[in-house]
Amino acid sequence: MKKWLVVLLAMTMVMSMALTGCGGGEAGGAESDTIKIGVNYELSGAVATYGQSSVDGVELAIDEINAAGGVLGKQIELVTIDNKSDAAEVVSVATRLMTEEGVVAVIGPATSGNFKAELPIANENGIPVISGSATANDVTAEGTREYTFRICFSDDFQGVAMANYASKTLGAQKVAVVQDKSSDYAEGLAASFIATFEELGGEIVAQEAYTAGDTDFNAILTSLTAKEFDAIWLPGYYQEVGLIVKQARALGIECPILGADGYDSPVLAELAGAEALHDVYFSNHYSSLNEDETVAAFIESYKAKNGVEPDAFNALAYDAAKLICDAIERAGEAEPEAIKEALAATSEFKAVTGTLSIDENHNAQKALVVIKLDNGVAVSAENATL
């Protein structure tokens, strides 16, 4: 065979292999058998229970969707990577998912700070991202929200609702505030609660602060024993909240303690002890006490797969995964830009955590529930009134 013909054949083979390789990497494209969705969650580190609960919810949703035939005739493929509860790692994971793994959308992270770390990467690559539980007010701020969506309510909404609950339902006139000063989440909740409670005629008699990672709260709690108050507003995450509740009850502080969705973890009862968790109220996105058919079906399905009752993070992430797939179906193609537009147009989507619509700021419009704990167990759940 002549030398020029050998060279031509070799070049043809190389080009063919290169083209084949490119086609195989287009996860969301027309040539792929699957649609790839990224999962960027905290599976280790400080808030691993949030991340693991969220991933469990996502996996259940995708199992159900794939069993029913998938989306647009294709199976959904999850690409799940642990961000280790670290903002720098969140960025690394998001970059890998969007530039190397070929995902058409990303679900997570769970916490507001970690989710916000992902947003510049989403905007740079034009990939929609959605969180079920990032509640900070500025998550969907103007200028950064183009590819950002959430299906939870904001901290402002939680703070306002719980101030109304403290004043109108519990009849509190004086409240002491104990907050995590190192957390945007707790700062936003504290500010909105205080402003609303004072507008309602209530009085904030003390404001004490702690930092995430603290374990001894006796000094600030002891200072409160010299004050008169009807309730404590304690916005924060379960790691510190559990210890604060335990130490408060040990000092004889028996008044109602109120908080938000950061309480929702099975570890809360382990840290506080069941006996200390009485007259504790927190806002949440979902309650297993709800008798709605959609909720009941979700609980049954989750328990069958995982052997335990689902929490709010399970439900929120489940809803986020279902909404992403619904948006792909409505878009008619697994392309990020079309998915973004479909998400923005969401109206009256029937979710486990309530029927929701996405507003012009890419926030979910839906109801909020207040859960009461006694002896570490949820004994009631009622809609909050504003």
> Model confidence over 39-84: pLDDT tens digits?
999 999 999 999 999 999 999 999 999 999 999 999 999 999 999 9
Which residues have CB under 8 Å from 45's CB, separation 6+?
84, 85, 86
Overall average pLDDT of the 2-24 stretch: 37
For the chain, give every residue range classified as CATH 3.40.50.2300: 34-153+291-355, 156-284+370-383
Alpha carbon of residue 89 to chain centroid: 18
How far, in Å, CA of 142 to CA of 55, rounded?
29
End-to-end CA distance of the chain: 85
CATH (residue range 156-284+370-383)? 3.40.50.2300
Neighbour-count burial of 200, counting CB atoms closer than 10 A to its CB (0-12 exposed, 13-18 middle, 19+ buried): middle
Neighbour-count burial for 244-267, b at 16+ CB within 10 Å, e otherwise: bbbbbbeeebebbbbbbbbbbbee
User: How confident is the model at residue 15, as a pLDDT?
Assistant: 38
User: How confident is the model at residue 28, as a pLDDT?
Assistant: 52
User: Does residue 3 carry a pLDDT above 90?
Assistant: no
CATH (residue range 34-153+291-355)? 3.40.50.2300
On the CB side of 328, CA atoms within 13 Å amount to 28
Overall average pLDDT of the 150-161 stretch: 91
User: How confident is the model at residue 22, as a pLDDT?
Assistant: 34
Question: pLDDT higher for 276 or 261?
Answer: 276
User: How confident is the model at residue 385, as a pLDDT?
Assistant: 59
**323: number of Cβ within 10 Å:** 24
> Model confidence over 277-330: pLDDT tens digits?
999 999 998 888 888 899 999 999 999 999 999 998 999 999 999 999 999 999
Overall average pLDDT of the 97-105 stretch: 98
Question: pLDDT higher for 384 or 240?
Answer: 240
